[in-house]
Structure 1
Amino acid sequence: MAAADTSRVFLILIIALVMVIVVLLGICWRFLGPGIMRRLLRPRRCPSEVPEYFSGNMSGNLRTITYFDYVTLKKATKDFHQKNQLGRGGFGPVYLGKLDDGRKVAVKQLSVGKSGQGESEFFMEVNMITSIQHKNLVRLVGCCSEGTERLLVYEYMKNKSLDKILFAAADAPAPASAPPFLNWRTRHQIIIGIGRGLQYLHEESNLRIVHRDIKASNILLDDKFQPKISDFGLARFFPEDQTYLSTAFAGTLGYTAPEYAIRGELTVKADTYSFGVLVLEIISSRKNTDLNLPNEMQYLPEHAWRLYEQSKILELVDGRVQGGEGFEEKEVMLVCQIALLCVQPYPNSRPAMSEVVRMLTMKTDQSIPAPAKPAFLDRKNLNGDRDAASSDTATMEMMRSPAGYWMMTPSPMLEVDRPYDMSFGK
């Protein structure tokens, strides 16, 4: 009998305790709000635990990054306010965020949409950037995958992206918001840093990587104007035994190597070509294509080559840089020549990035090879008379040019019709 009474008392106590807990939860829900309560009730994840949404999709050192919830990043960016937008990439906008511990970060909000393109970029970039570490590559702080939201959190770069400084004159900023001016010493430092970052990706990381989208907007600058390559959403691991592969085009026209843009053939030398175009932009402070200029100046590599042939390559240099701090004519001419070596028409004739860095940093007065003519179409032939005879002549002339070679020669690797991904073709 005593045992029955004890059980009854115990049951009553349990029921009373449950009721108290329910009442307290109701009060908290009422006064704290649903959002905070959901966060408090959400199971805590061990910092070293990889979230379930990465299972089967990812590899690499995922424990080096933080997994943020969406509410935290929404608060850090002030609800992704327009005033906090740092820029916009092909997959979505990037916002300045301030975390609760005071750290500033750059939050890239991927546009997943119905195509799922942002989803693949999300997994690719997290996997890629957690597998590599170099002072000239941007560091991924963390990420968020919650519902349909896919966000990447990077270290914040005080001087933002290189394009916002280089092309400021073309964008005509207000004097109060004008970006800092880059003298030659700083530009040279940026060029070498980008080269070293690419050298690491191509030759020194555990896995050879082709970035595929080297351009001014994907180069970030820290407070000392040290460059960091960013945006690895289009990058690909590249098997060591693969000389090239035929793949769907991805990248930015104007920076793209002819063999890749026209025929879909991808090697690390495609990045070398993009680097060469970018160096010419850094030297001249102009975009690679500007249709507002006279015909012969519209395409930057073409314009640079004509000046080089005429021994007038210094005319390419931004007038504000000439005569400024650290400006050395001989050094500038050398860098221009290296850039033209990088944009040569055939991949095998372009130098490896380790060789590029060696030439950029050599102290002795060593000679470097003379570049070949870059690959571009002869506008005079293409826009000339349209009768049959003229058309035949134009076609023959184009076939003699480097660009014509790429357009007329069939690819020997047509059977490879998709890019290598993280699983190496599985």
Structure 2
Amino acid sequence: MESQNTLLLPLSTLFISLALLTLTSADDAAVMSKFATTLSTPPSDWTGTNPCTWSGINCDTSNRVTAINLPSKSLSGSLPSTLNQLSNLQSISLQRNSLSGPLPTFANLSSLQQVFLDANNFTSIPSDFFSGLTNLQTMSLSDNINLDPWTIPSDLVQSSSLGNFSASNANIVGSIPDIFNSFPNLQNLRLSYNNLNGSLPSTFRGSEITNLWLNNQVHGFSGTIDVLSSMTQLYQVWLHGNSFTGPIPDLSKCTNVFDLQLRDNQFTGVLPPSLMGLPKLANISLQNNKLQGPMPTFRPGVTVSLGLTNSFCKSTPGPCDPQVTALLAVAGALGYPSTLAQSWQGNSACSGWTFITCDSQSNVIIVNFGKQHFSGSISPAFANLTSLKSLYLNDNNLTGSIPDVLTTLPQLQVLDVSNNNLSGPIPVFQSTVKFSSPGNLFLGKNITTGSGGNGGPSGSGSNSTTPGGSPSGTSNGSSSVSAGMIAGVVIAVVVFVGVMLFVSYKCYVKKRHQRFGRVDGSEKGSEMVKSAVVSVANGYGGVPSELQSQSSGDHGDMPIFEGGNVAISIQVLRQVTDNFSEENVLGRGGFGIVYKGVLHDGTIIAVKRMESGAMGTKGMNEFQAEIAVLTKVRHRHLVALLGYCINGNERLLVYEYMPQGTLAQHLFEWRELGYSPLTWKQRVTIALDMARGVEYLHGLAQQSFIHRDLKPSNILLGDDMRAKVADFGLVKNAPDGKYSLETRLAGTFGYLAPEYAATGRVTTKVDVYAFGVVLMEIITGRKALDETVPDERAHLVTWFRRVLINKENIHKAIDQTLDPDEETFESISKVAELAGHCTAREPFQRPDMGHAVNVLGPLVEQWKPSSHEDEDGYGIDLHMSLPQALQRWQADEGTSAMFNDLSYSHTQSSIPSKPTGFADTFDSMDCR
């Protein structure tokens, strides 16, 4: 009896599970049956009780509905209110139909990723529509002109994976909520033709947005667009048809901007020169504003619309009159007020400019800004108006100090700065100047920076000064003399001690670093460049002598890492890159700019100048320890890190140069660049090389927590089709204060694994996903994310997964330049299947890189390393554990100090224990 009960228990559990499964699939069937009744004319094949057989409906193996794909089907009617009961729904595409009525709530559809409802006639959006959409990647609601007014809800922050949000012409009102730090992967934001107002959100700053469409609002956004200057990924910017004010900011960091539409606003001021120098700018519109200063001159090929309403000083290029230039600088310090822009037109400040009075020789003699409610500061450019006699700045909201240079005005008689919020010392004017300054609480006082409780500067002391410049509070001149003598003695002592310390320091440095060939100046740096005789690119074994010099910078107390002789002088790097000239820029990425450098013997290197940031002693030690490993890691498919430079808070990295361009260029830009299209054999060889390189890094990552990113911009083709997987930086680990290498995968939305995009979880399977996307690019010749194609094909992974459902579809998806025969098609099919597995939604469903190598290896005819040394740099066996490899390196170099603070476990396991003190890089949320 007991045995029977034991048998019945699992059977009952099985029956219950099957019953639940049947119920859930039945629930989906009921929802879809309701959907069929709410459509005026459902698709003709929507018959029977199983919706998984209906056209446009996809289901999983449990008959749960996962996708509804019915774009452009001339559908009318409405959506059922029970739609959010399809709990497994991942994609819904109903765009370009005639659906109407209220939208049902999508609340808590946690599997939903893609929503396309644009170009319909929906009438309202429920308040909880966006709640609980934790995996949402794309939301498109544009061209629903019948919607009741609605605002962008704060619930949207739950969709942290959001990459595309389109709701143009959808009757959105109010302001844009300041929530964009919640969307690290957002690239496309389209909100044109609505009734939005207010200022641009501050959390736009530093975002990954590439395409920003906010044009043609009913009343319009207001305020400045200064936040754009830090949106370095911008590509297309449409802000026309609004009410933006102030100057156009410096966009020199926005080097990818291609299309900039700023017309029909209220911009004022002088255009920054950097705007004319944007390297990729092809189209810009500036008409119907109040811009000032010289007529802009853009490079040939840029389409420019200036219109007739701007206030440029001349109708042709060239500098403005000196007085006009000076007054525009004055206006700039005030934020270019619109009241000045409306009047200050032409190239003569004496031709009816408001607040300006001139003499008979057209010299500006009076500037009267009194009681104009101006804010900003007093510009030193006033000093360029050499005929100025009276300057009235009273009763405004000016801050900052009074420029000392105003004392040089030879004819100044009156300066009134009363009733502002000025601070700092008062310059000493000639006795003939009538100076008035009451109503400035902190003017003439020694203050510290910051702000007090009343909004003014804090820390005001008692050492105020009179307008004559003399300290107040002294009873006679002797006290001042005594104080001056004391100050003089103190300064003399400090200078003497400083000189002695400097001399001692120089002697110490010279003695300590003679054997490192330290470069102290440009002349010695030049000699070191001339002495370079070892080629970098010929096989990793040697590094030029100029790359073996002492650590850079002026910080003599900087510890020298002697283990690898990889510290490089900043003087050398400046010399070989022509002082980091713009002409030598190879690329720009999330960590900084990469420059091309040419050594004396013609060898080319790549120098990455990383963004500056404060680094403590512990951080410096960790950085050098990591560099010690990275400069030793050698693999024929990884670009070598040759050295580093620390110059104050700045960090620079020197890599070997890969001359043949990026994989993306060979796949997507080969016609423009004059390349030949890659053959299938070349493509699969590259894929194998990449897989081997990443597999090698993953092996090291498990042992020493070295982790590199994989993204197309970093996969370069070398002379032997080697693939590069490099680009690293430091990220602080908050819980224990340690530093570890950061995974950098946020190149573009299309390469992000779902778990990384939603939670930032870092595992080796994140790299596998990105590798799978690259395989899809190699097969199709299409980009991971392509906005130029219809929405249903824009995201490569989503589209390619649908292709893989039927092998015959692969024929249509293959890059047309391949034109495969039967044998090649079989090879492509195997790689396509591998790509599908690599991009599985759940990490545990993806293979490791070793499996990818095993699949790709047989497809490459007679592939093998050109020599054993190519595969095993520095004579290290790749099957050796990293602690063993480190011991070998230490023994070879006669040093044991390289990792004296890291306690490696001596284990017989093929993957040794982690060093003590290191966080779990691949499973911990702490290392995002």
The alignment's TM-score, normalised by the length of structure 1, stands at: 0.63
1:143 paired with 2:651, answer: no
1:182 corresponds to: 678
Structure 2 segments unaligned to the other structure (5+ residues): 1-519, 529-544, 734-741, 861-922
Q: Distance in 2 between matches of 1:317 and 1:72?
A: 48
2:574 corresponds to: 74
1:83 corresponds to: 583
Within the candidate set 695, 715, 723, 1:219 is matched to: 715
Structure 1 segments unaligned to the other structure (5+ residues): 1-33, 238-246, 365-414, 421-426
Deviations 1:338-374 (A, max 9, x none): 011100111111111111110112369xxxxxxxxxx
Task: Give 3-state SS (helix, strand or coil) of 2:927's partner.
Answer: coil
Q: Distance in 2 between matches of 1:46 and 1:303?
A: 47
Taking structure 1 as reference, are residues 340 and 46 closer, same or farther at Cα in structure 2, changes over 3 Å only? closer
Q: Distance in 1 between matches of 2:783 and 2:823?
A: 21
Task: Give 3-state SS (helix, strand or coil) of 1:213's partner.
Answer: coil
2:815 corresponds to: 318
- Mapping of residues 153-192 of structure 1, within 5 Å: 153-168=654-669, 173=672, 177-192=673-688
The RMSD of aligned alpha carbons is: 4.1
- Mapping of residues 322-341 of structure 1, within 5 Å: 322-323=819-820, 328-341=824-837
Cα contact 1:260–1:270 (8 A) shared by 2: yes
1:240 corresponds to: none
Cα contact 1:91–1:111 (8 A) shared by 2: yes
Within the candidate set 763, 782, 787, 1:286 is matched to: 782
More divergent stretch after superposition (352-361 vs 156-165)? 156-165
Please identify which structure carries the higher helix content. 1
Q: Distance in 2 between matches of 1:53 and 1:332?
A: 57
1:423 corresponds to: none
Q: Distance in 2 between matches of 1:85 and 1:46?
A: 20
Taking structure 1 as reference, are residues 251 and 96 closer, same or farther at Cα in structure 2, changes over 3 Å only? same
Deviations 1:276-315 (A, max 9, x none): 0111112222221112211221111111111111321232
Q: Distance in 1 between matches of 2:824 and 2:610?
A: 43
Quick one: which amino acid aligns to residue 655 of structure 2?
Answer: Y
Deviations 1:354-399 (A, max 9, x none): 11110112369xxxxxxxxxxxxxxxxxxxxxxxxxxxxxxxxxxx
1:418 corresponds to: 926
Q: Distance in 1 between matches of 2:793 and 2:654?
A: 39
Q: Distance in 1 between matches of 2:730 and 2:819?
A: 36
The alignment's TM-score, normalised by the length of structure 2, stands at: 0.31
The total of aligned residue pairs comes to: 316
Quick one: which amino acid aligns to residue 184 of structure 1?
Answer: W
Quick one: which amino acid aligns to residue 746 of structure 2?
Answer: G
Quick one: which amino acid aligns to residue 817 of structure 2?
Answer: R
Q: Distance in 1 between matches of 2:547 and 2:793?
A: 58
Cα contact 1:211–1:271 (8 A) shared by 2: no
Quick one: which amino acid aligns to residue 151 of structure 1?
Answer: L
Quick one: which amino acid aligns to residue 86 of structure 1?
Answer: L
- Cα deviation for residue 221 of structure 1 reads 1.4
Cα contact 1:88–1:94 (8 A) shared by 2: yes
- Cα deviation for residue 265 of structure 1 reads 2.4
Q: Distance in 1 between matches of 2:674 and 2:731?
A: 32
Q: Distance in 2 between matches of 1:350 and 1:219?
A: 21
Q: Distance in 2 between matches of 1:99 and 1:248?
A: 31
Cα contact 2:837–2:846 (8 A) shared by 1: yes
Task: Give 3-state SS (helix, strand or coil) of 2:691's partner.
Answer: helix
Within the candidate set 798, 802, 807, 1:302 is matched to: 798
Q: Distance in 1 between matches of 2:625 and 2:812?
A: 41
Q: Distance in 2 between matches of 1:255 and 1:125?
A: 26
Task: Give 3-state SS (helix, strand or coil) of 2:751's partner.
Answer: coil
- Cα deviation for residue 273 of structure 1 reads 0.7
1:265 paired with 2:773, answer: no
2:607 corresponds to: 107
- Cα deviation for residue 327 of structure 1 reads 7.6
- Mapping of residues 39-78 of structure 1, within 5 Å: 63-64=563-564, 66-78=566-578
Rg larger in 1 or in 2?
Answer: 2
Task: Give 3-state SS (helix, strand or coil) of 1:88's partner.
Answer: strand
- Mapping of residues 363-374 of structure 1, within 5 Å: none
Determine what percentage of the aligned residue pairs are the same residue: 34
Quick one: which amino acid aligns to residue 848 of structure 2?
Answer: A
Cα contact 1:234–1:250 (8 A) shared by 2: no
Cα contact 1:273–1:344 (8 A) shared by 2: yes
Q: Distance in 2 between matches of 1:226 and 1:83?
A: 26
Within the candidate set 729, 746, 765, 1:251 is matched to: 746
Taking structure 1 as reference, are residues 94 and 45 closer, same or farther at Cα in structure 2, changes over 3 Å only? closer
Higher relative contact order (CA 8 A, sep 6+): 1
Q: Distance in 2 between matches of 1:53 and 1:281?
A: 49
Quick one: which amino acid aligns to residue 233 of structure 1?
Answer: G
Quick one: which amino acid aligns to residue 572 of structure 2?
Answer: T
- Cα deviation for residue 87 of structure 1 reads 1.5
Cα contact 1:161–1:221 (8 A) shared by 2: yes
Cα contact 1:248–1:418 (8 A) shared by 2: no
- Cα deviation for residue 205 of structure 1 reads 6.6
Please identify which structure carries the higher strand content. 2
2:699 corresponds to: 203
- Cα deviation for residue 196 of structure 1 reads 0.4
Q: Distance in 2 between matches of 1:343 and 1:134?
A: 26
Cα contact 1:85–1:96 (8 A) shared by 2: yes
Cα contact 2:710–2:745 (8 A) shared by 1: no
Quick one: which amino acid aligns to residue 130 of structure 1?
Answer: T
- Cα deviation for residue 275 of structure 1 reads 0.7
Task: Give 3-state SS (helix, strand or coil) of 2:594's partner.
Answer: strand
Taking structure 1 as reference, are residues 208 and 284 closer, same or farther at Cα in structure 2, changes over 3 Å only? farther
- Cα deviation for residue 263 of structure 1 reads 2.3
Q: Distance in 2 between matches of 1:65 and 1:327?
A: 50
